[in-house]
């Protein structure tokens, strides 16, 4: 420990210079990694990280990487499920749209059948009484 003001100023100056250099290099690294994220190449229809559904099994997966031959390496959690061609996958948004349209069409048929059965039961009760 020293009481010399000049020596303390010199130490503080060196310390602030070191911190500024470290902060600048840290900022440069963050900027480089954010640029790499924004420049993420999209080889096929979907970028890395997209939620997709395997059309044969209806399993939801995320795209982990895209191979040079334009296939998608997909994962569930941390488990790699496999490498798939574009034709084997559909986006989650398309999957939801497909499921909703199927449910709406089958729902209307079920509703009509229930109404007809109800009318039939009422008719039977009315004519048997």
pLDDT in tens, 7-22: 777 776 776 777 756 6
In degrees and rounded to multiples of 5, residue 68 shows phi and psi of -60, -25
Give residue limits of the domains in the chain: 1-39, 40-128
Where is 27: in which H helix or E strand? helix 5-38
What whole-number distance in Å separates Cα of residue 91 and Cα of residue 89? 7
Supply the pTM of this predicted model.
0.48
Confidence of residue 88 (pLDDT cuts 50, 70, 90): very high
Greatest mean pLDDT among 29-33, 107-111, 115-119 lies in 115-119
What whole-number distance in Å separates Cα of residue 102 and Cα of residue 99? 5
Class of the 40-128 domain?
Answer: mainly beta
Closest CA to 72 of 47, 37, 36, 93: 47
């Amino acid at each position: 420990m020293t009481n010399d003001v000049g020596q303390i100023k010199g130490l503080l100056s060196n310390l602030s210079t070191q911190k500024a250099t470290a902060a600048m290099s840290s900022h440069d690294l963050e900027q480089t990694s954010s640029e790499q994220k924004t420049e993420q190449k999209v080889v096929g229809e979907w970028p890395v990280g997209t939620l997709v559904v395997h059309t044969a099994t209806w399993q939801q997966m995320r795209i982990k990487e895209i191979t040079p031959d334009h296939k998608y390496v997909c994962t569930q959690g941390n488990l790699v499920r496999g490498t798939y061609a574009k034709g084997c996958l559909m986006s989650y948004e398309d999957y939801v749209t497909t499921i909703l349209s199927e449910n709406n069409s089958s729902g209307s048929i079920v509703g009509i059948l229930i109404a007809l059965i109800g009318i039939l039961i009422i008719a039977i009760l009315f004519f048997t009484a």
